[in-house]
Amino acid sequence: MRMMTMKYWLWSIVCSAPLLLVDVSATYQVLPAKSFAQSRNNGRPPTRTLNLAKTDSQCRSRPLDLVFIIDSSRSIRPADFEKVKIFLADMVDTLVVGSDATRVAVVNYASTVKIEFLLKDHFSKADIKKAISRIEPLASGTMTGLAIRTALNQAFTEQSGARPRSRNISKVAIIVTDGRPQDQVEEVSATARAASIQIYAVGVDRADMASLRQMASLPLDDHVFYVETYGVIEKLTSKFRETLCGLDPCAAGNDCEHTCVNSNASFYCKCRSGYILNADQRTCSLKQVKAEVVVDPCKCEARLAFQKQTQATMQQLTAKLADVAARIERLENELGRA
């Protein structure tokens, strides 16, 4: 009898098992099995790839001659170098690109330097991004100083597509590196800045901060950036968008002898009172006061001498007034900064 009861109990469990499974499935919504790789990537954003589609920009900045100088030395893994290319493409998307707008060039470097394309080569976002997608890393070495010199002497020339200085087009270099330069960067960077090239230095991971500061333009807080990994370098895109879209042409490097005046998409130089702007549109000369000498009909030498002396005195007074005006202007500027 006991054996019959046990068999009946086991048979009841077997028969009710499908119903139990149906209830569990309905209650907990059993999902299909996933691979370990799929489970491990749950919650992670999908890997980004370089998007060649054109993106309209809301940035209505003045035109730039923009040269990217990118480190592709051995320390940068292929996947990380792809992130650098995505960063460049994102930057292109934020700007107004064209022959009369912003022109873009890329200088690639490691132990050697390769100009991937010049400012005169591509004038559409689609063409620039296609050229960026074809860039390959150069492998070994970190000759950052050589790369800056190459950009200065070859990429920023009129023969390569840079606009002449008379056009007042700002020249901007953005350097991206993750290491310590194997050559000197301070002197060549100073030469580039003296040529009115505004330098931004972006350091990644193990980048040497001292070298970044030697390369960058002033103020350093606005021109030196650092990110921990290439995986987050795209976060700098919005920062550069704000910086380049709102770039003050007078702060971007000009050589006005007296005063720089911001004029929407450009700037012009202005002289202080008592001076006139020279033909180069940069320097100023003391304004000459011409006093008309009237020839005395009676040939009175004393009167002619008096007229000449008066003319000389007027010129001296004009020079002194100009000097006083300059001092007043400097004092006003100092008080304004205080």
Spatial CA neighbour of 63 closest among 247, 192, 193, 261: 247
* pLDDT confidence bin for 317, thresholds 50/70/90: confident
- CA 20, CA 150: separation in Å to the nearest integer? 75
- CA 269, CA 74: separation in Å to the nearest integer? 46
Structure confidence at residue 210 (pLDDT) = 95
Q: Is the peptide bond before 45 cis (omega within 30 degrees of 0)?
A: no
Query: 171 and 196 in contact (C-beta within 8 Å)?
Result: yes
- The model's pTM is 0.61
Averaging pLDDT over each range in 174-188, 278-292, 311-325, which range is the top one?
174-188
* pLDDT confidence bin for 329, thresholds 50/70/90: confident
- Which has the higher per-residue pLDDT, 53 or 72? 72
- Which has the higher per-residue pLDDT, 3 or 48? 48
254, burial (CB in 10 Å: exposed 0-12, middle 13-18, buried 19+):
middle
- CA 100, CA 103: separation in Å to the nearest integer? 8
The domains found in the chain, sorted by start residue, are 64-245 (3.40.50.410), 259-337 (2.10.25.10)
**Beta bridge mates, 103:** 65
The stretch 40-62 carries a mean pLDDT of 55
Label each residue of 24-93 as H, E or C.
HHHHHCCCCCCCHHHHHCCCCCCCCCCCCCCCCCCCCCCCEEEEEEEECCCCCCHHHHHHHHHHHHHHHH
Structure confidence at residue 319 (pLDDT) = 78
Q: Is 138 helix (H, G, I), strand (E, B) or coil?
A: coil
Structure confidence at residue 137 (pLDDT) = 94
- Residue 9 predicted with pLDDT over 70: no
Cβ-based neighbours of 65, under 8 Å, separated by 6 or more: 102, 103, 119, 156, 161, 162, 163, 169, 170, 171, 172
The stretch 110-124 carries a mean pLDDT of 97
Q: What pLDDT digit, counting tens, does each position of 243-296 carry?
A: 777 655 555 455 677 777 765 445 678 888 878 888 878 788 887 755 555 555
The stretch 173-178 carries a mean pLDDT of 96
- Residue 56 predicted with pLDDT over 70: no
